Amino acid sequence: MDCYDLTSMTWKEVEESLKTVQLAIIPIGAHEQHGPHMVESCDAVLAERMAKKLGQRMFPYALVTPTVNMGVSQHHLNFPGTISLQPTTLIAVLKDIVSSLKHHEIEKFLFLNSHGGNQSTLNVASMMLSNELNVEIYYAKTTASAKKAIKENVTSTLFGHSCEREVSEALYLAPELVRLEKLEKGDIQEEGRWKQLRPGKAIQGFYYYEEMTNNGCIGDGTKASWEIGQQIVEEALDNLSKELYTLLDLKVNVQQ
């Protein structure tokens, strides 16, 4: 066994793992539209695959939980098939997971998130649950720390959803998520209030995704490749594992 994956372990195996496990990695995704070329389970599957790879890097000090496969996706709801949780629902689910694992004496947690729409909720959840349950909770976007690889390979000024970055990650981690014959670049709305509300602007606010893109994509998925995905994913895993070893105060060589 090179990863403590709770979904494929017996209770006896879990009992043995708890002799060394200090951290639970909780993958969190979403079920939402990803344009014409990615399936709607994309975020959940990518969160799970990243969590298992990170669990291998952190073995035997981390345990990977089942994936929370729906998230806060209200902004995608007008595209068919999207299922959205309320932020309070997601926080309640996470509270129950953390409470259950604390009962088994795990007291440090990483919410490993693959959906940008979850980030603000996870910020609040981290603060609330750390205090309520007397545990340590960290959160991270799966590949956001891979700044070098993203800068070298992503050329679109507007990207982040079914784009060259996300499609590349899928080609590396879970190619079955991608409809290669249907790859499109984002069909961006030239005008609209969405431009004033994007991250980095003076004022932030809610808008529906179709206000920004007609086909549900931004960026250019046609430029994606397995090689780009490998660079982004592996750089992110290097950064995540290095930071976690430091936070856990483990004197172990980190796999590079």
pLDDT of residue 35: 98
pLDDT(240) > 90: yes
**pLDDT, position 252:** 56
Give me the mean pLDDT over the 107-118 stretch: 98
User: For residue range 10-37, what is the model confidence (pLDDT) as tens digits?
Assistant: 999 999 999 999 999 999 999 999 999 9
Position 239 scores a pLDDT of 98
What pLDDT digit, counting tens, does each position of 159-174 carry? 999 999 999 999 999 9
Can you give the pLDDT at residue 112?
A: 98
- What's the pLDDT score for residue 254? 45
51-95 pLDDT, tens digit per residue, is 999 999 999 999 999 999 999 999 999 999 999 999 999 999 999
Cβ atoms < 10 Å from Cβ of 74: 16
Distance CA 98, CA 100 (A): 5
pLDDT at 232 over 50: yes
Per-residue pLDDT tens over the stretch 131-157: 999 999 999 999 999 999 999 999 999
Question: Does 246 have pLDDT greater than 90?
Answer: yes
Global pTM value: 0.96
pLDDT for 1: 87
